[in-house]
A and B are shown apart, each in its own frame.
Chain A
Amino acid sequence: ETGVTQSPTHLIKTRGQQVTLRCSSQSGHNTVSWYQQALGQGPQFIFQYYREEENGRGNFPPRFSGLQFPNYSSELNVNALELDDSALYLCASSRTGDAGNTIYFGEGSWLTVV
């Protein structure tokens, strides 16, 4: 148990639709990062949120957006879904300024786009 919770665990969407994924960070953690993991590959960094602002972004188009709330929980929104967006979406919780090894992942949300 990492204390990082994600919802929903599985969902199916149609191409062109929009999806929102949610993450609650571990207690004491103020930073949330989102990763996309396609089948058979390592996770790819989407973006990170700290103090309710985007704090770093990977190579993903603007239709991937996010939010962080005052309680440090976060949402990942994906608009105009494409078939290639089918993947496991992982939320990672950490504390900015902590140089240690405290980066923990939630169980992930499996998104299938048909």
Chain B
Amino acid sequence: GQNIDQPTEMTATEGAIVQINCTYQTSGFNGLFWYQQHAGEAPTFLSYNVLDGLEEKGRFSSFLSRSKGYSYLLLKELQMKDSASSLCAVRDNAGNMLTFGGGTRLMVKP
């Protein structure tokens, strides 16, 4: 089966750093994606990890440990516009199917 867990909600302060965790148990693994989704909009691509370690992309970084089935998304220098849902998704071996977690709703406060 496929199981992806992430916290439902998090709150952080503008200018701070926040880490959003994701744990997964899937029958196959061919990469882990993080998407950001603002209310009423489609998911937009943030980051991708297929090998262990940290991928950095501007204010966003993502980490993967395949042996632990664990990833996190790190958002630095938080801005009000970062108030959105962060979605963790695992791609299966067979193709490009993504299994998503329920999303973490991040609220950034002034």
Interface residues of A (CB under 8 A from B): 2, 31, 33, 35, 40-45, 48, 50, 55-56, 58, 88, 90, 92, 94, 96, 99-101, 103-108
Contacts and interface: CB of A to CB of B under 8 A. Distances in A.
Chain A CB within 10 A, most for which of B50, B95, B101, B102:
B95
A90 B33 contact: no
B102 A41 contact: yes
Interface string B43-69: 111011010000000000000000000
A104 B91 CA distance: 13
Given A90-B42, A105-B43, A31 B95 contact: yes
B42 A42 contact: no
Contacts of B35: 105
Count class of interface residues, chain B: 20 to 34
Interface of B: 4, 30-31, 33, 35, 41-45, 47-48, 50, 87, 89, 91, 94-103
A58 B42 CA distance: 20
Contacts of A55: 95
B84 to A, nearest CB: 13
Given A99-B30, A99-B31, A43 B41 contact: no
Contact of A41 (B43, B47, B48, B103): B103
B96 A31 contact: yes
